[in-house]
């Protein structure tokens, strides 16, 4: 299972935000072609209760993935995901409003 391989690799080599690996480098390591595919693998790891450690991420050019080792890293990751979810929810409200205007 690719998720298990990626998780094990992150645990062994990228523990803590200071040791993050860029998305493109992680994709190259596992022969994954698209950014979307890599994000889906990370999502599957995060949602699977068998993977006990949390995969953190930093967005942007200097960003990447890592295994959270501090409470602050865990909190930062959770807040980042909540922020993105709230942005999407706001967008759905705008789209619903627009759809009723026509």
The whole-model pTM stands at 0.87
Q: Which CATH number fits domain 2-100: 3.40.1170.60, 1.10.10.10, 3.40.605.10, 3.40.1160.10?
A: 1.10.10.10
Q: Which residues lie closer than 8 Å to 99 by C-beta, 6 or more apart?
A: none
What whole-number distance in Å separates Cα of residue 66 and Cα of residue 56? Answer: 5
pLDDT tens for 7-55 read 999 999 999 999 999 999 999 999 999 999 999 999 999 999 999 999 9
């Amino acid at each position: 299972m690719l998720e298990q391989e990626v998780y094990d690799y992150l645990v062994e080599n990228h523990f803590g935000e200071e040791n993050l690996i860029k998305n493109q480098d992680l994709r190259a390591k596992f022969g994954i072609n698209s950014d979307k595919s890599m994000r889906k693998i990370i999502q599957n790891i995060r949602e699977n209760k068998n993977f006990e450690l949390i995969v953190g991420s930093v967005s942007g050019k200097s960003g990447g993935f890592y295994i959270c080792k501090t409470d602050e890293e865990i909190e930062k990751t959770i807040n980042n995901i909540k922020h993105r979810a709230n942005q999407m929810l706001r967008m759905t409200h705008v789209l619903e409003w627009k759809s009723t205007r026509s």
